[in-house]
Amino acid sequence: MILSNSGIENRQEWLDKGYSLPEFNREAVIDKTMKEPKWIHFGAGNIFRAFQANVVQELLNKGIIDTGLIVAEGYDYEIIEKMNRPHDDLSILVTLKANGTVKKTVIGSVAESCILDEDNEKEIERLKEIFRAPSLQMVSFTITEKGYKTVAYMSKVTRLLYERFLAGALPVAMVSMDNCSHNGDKLFEAVAGLAKEWEEQGKCEKGFVDYVSDRSKVSFPLSMIDKITPRPDSNIEKMLIDDGIEDLEQVITSKNTYVAPFVNAEETEYLVIEDLFPNGRDDLEKGGIIFTDRVTVDKTEKMKVCTCLNPLHTALAIFGCLLGYTSIHDEMDDEDLKNLVTKLGNIEGMPVVVDPGVLSPQEFLDAVLKKRLPNPFMPDTPQRIACDTSQKLPIRFGETIKAYRASSSLSTDDLTLIPLVLAGWCRYLLGVNDSGESFELSPDPMLDEVRGLNARDILKKKEIFAVDLFEDGLGEKILKIYDELQQGPGSVRKVLKKYVDSVLA
């Protein structure tokens, strides 16, 4: 069994092994997509293959749409060269369900893969052709938050958008689908900033800035995305090899990207997008995507990142590293850690949760606590989630603290677990676990700076916590817990249990 166009022609062999295959005429879909592209996506990584490509596959299978996706990679070209093209743009999605079952799907919705390399004339000409196409409706991105701050990458994207301007100022939606706050605004700021700079320097025709800034021509919708797609797991690779599939070797590219012909992911997924598409769009809501207004998208993001998921992830990351855990699902078998995140979400988060209306906060939180985090088949680690914690704390905890302070009926005196987590982070920065053994801290842009400070000075940094923690008694409460956490081996476990148990459900 080979993952290629010719390899899946023997459909029965794949079906007998439990694989779902594309149910549409892939050759016809590829032909139409090449001629009349509607959706191009930048970022050929795991989240794209597990989410967007799967949504499009389901819509193609149902006959709701008749064009597929074009994917472009502008950072790590080896993904396209070593994964997409050798496998005819096919990939395998292994959905890991909490009940222990797996769903194996051969994804064939990607019609074409491109490389955003300005030194490759053939590749760039094809991308320009796509951007000049009147049929193009959406340009989407999963390039990480850092991508929008990378001038080289954004310059390449903006030059392609300039091609669309030259082709008659054709309309299009530029949709960031990255997991970061106000993602569409970040994309707009990057593109508009370059357009203004070029126009001022005479590097482009007059009117390009107006085109980019006219939401009836070029929109930059907000979105909220949520789906866990860890690195390719060796256990999944073995399962597929045991099925008889060949050439599944994983590759670590020269830019340290972990890629394989398969992607493993959880079953739960959410994508909420501001419905602002100047050139129209297909019926993507029939694939589970929620389209709504800007305010509602903003609320769904706040619900997730301030209460129902991200704070819980950070709490598990910090204490997981301190207690020697290497998997999130194992942490959920630890009663103290399970109670920590359960009470953190339900007792301290829910009183100030933002309800978006299109998703129930309580149902979302229940799914996180009972289905997603405990999933024994999701190979996610506290060490991965602990990356860049200093950048995450402002919205994951700072916004909740602000809400408590702004409330007429609540007070930060009511908070116990948030101070515990913040104290835990200060303890984590020592790089010594609860057994007294050194461990490697996860990458963080502020690591060198904060490790040179004492806990009080760390807690004074408003750029990390988004608030002045010493405005009320919160800062002193955190320092007290921090002192307790560093009383020698076993103190982390002792203090964790003490404070978690003190919060009554």
- Mean pLDDT check: name the lowest of 26-40, 174-188, 251-265, 453-467: 251-265
pLDDT score, position 252: 86
Answer yes or no: is 5 within a domain: no
Residue 210 has pLDDT above 80, yes or no: yes
Q: How many residues can be counted in the chain?
A: 505
List the alpha helices (DSSP H) in 368-452: 382-385, 389-393, 399-406, 417-428, 447-451
**386 and 437 both lie in a single domain:** yes
Name the residue with higher pLDDT: 84 or 99.
Answer: 84
Indicate if 443 and 371 belong to the same structural domain.
yes
Name which of 149-163, 208-222, 249-263, 463-477 the model is least confident about: 249-263
Instruction: Give the Cα separation of 375 and 239 in Å (integer).
Output: 18
Residue 428 covered by a domain: yes
In this predicted structure, what is the pLDDT of residue 193? 97
Determine the pLDDT at residue 235: 87
Helix-then-strand count for the chain, H and E? 24, 15
- Domain presence at residue 235: yes
Q: Are 160 and 208 in contact (CB under 8 A)?
A: no
pLDDT given at position 333: 96
**In angstroms, what is the C-alpha Rg of the chain?**
24
| pLDDT averaged over every residue in the chain | 95
pLDDT, residue 257, reads 83
pLDDT of residue 302: 93
Full domain range(s) for residue 381: 296-502
Does 381 reside within a domain? Answer: yes
Average pLDDT value for residue range 66-76 = 96
* End position of a domain, from candidates 242, 277, 292: 292
Say whether both 248 and 384 belong to one domain.
Answer: no
Query: Which two structure tokens, joined as six digits, stand for 305?
Result: 């990142």
Q: To 10 degrees, the CA torsion angle through 302, 304, 309, 312?
A: 10
How is the beta sheet containing 290-292 ordered, strand by strand?
223-226, 270-274, 290-292
- Report the distance separating Cα 175 and Cα 308, nearest Å: 24
CA distance 243 to 14: 9
Residue 376 vs residue 410, higher pLDDT: 410
Whether residue 329 is found in the same domain as residue 271: no
Q: Strands (DSSP E) along 159-304, which ranges?
A: 172-176, 218-219, 223-226, 251-252, 258-259, 262-266, 270-274, 290-292
The amino acid sitting at 256 is N
Q: What percent of the chain has pLDDT over 90?
A: 90
- Domain C-terminal end among 233, 259, 292: 292
pLDDT at 505 > cutoff 80: no
Q: pLDDT tens across 299-336, in order? A: 999 999 999 999 999 999 999 999 999 999 999 999 99
Whole-model pTM over 0.95: no
Residues 306, 264 share a domain: no
Quick one: average pLDDT of 137-153?
94
Pair (122, 146) in one structural domain: yes
Share of the chain above pLDDT 70, in %: 100
Does residue 391 sit in the same domain as residue 358?
A: yes
Whether 379 has a pLDDT exceeding 80, the answer reads no
Number of domains in the chain: 2
Look up the CATH number of the domain holding residue 27.
3.40.50.720
Whole-number Å distance between alpha carbons of 257 and 20: 27
CATH code of the domain containing 490: 1.10.1040.10
In a shared domain, residues 215 and 313: no
Within-domain flag for 6: no
How do residues 147-194 score in pLDDT, each as one tens digit?
999 999 999 999 999 999 999 999 999 999 998 889 999 999 999 999
Give the three-class secondary structure for 62: coil
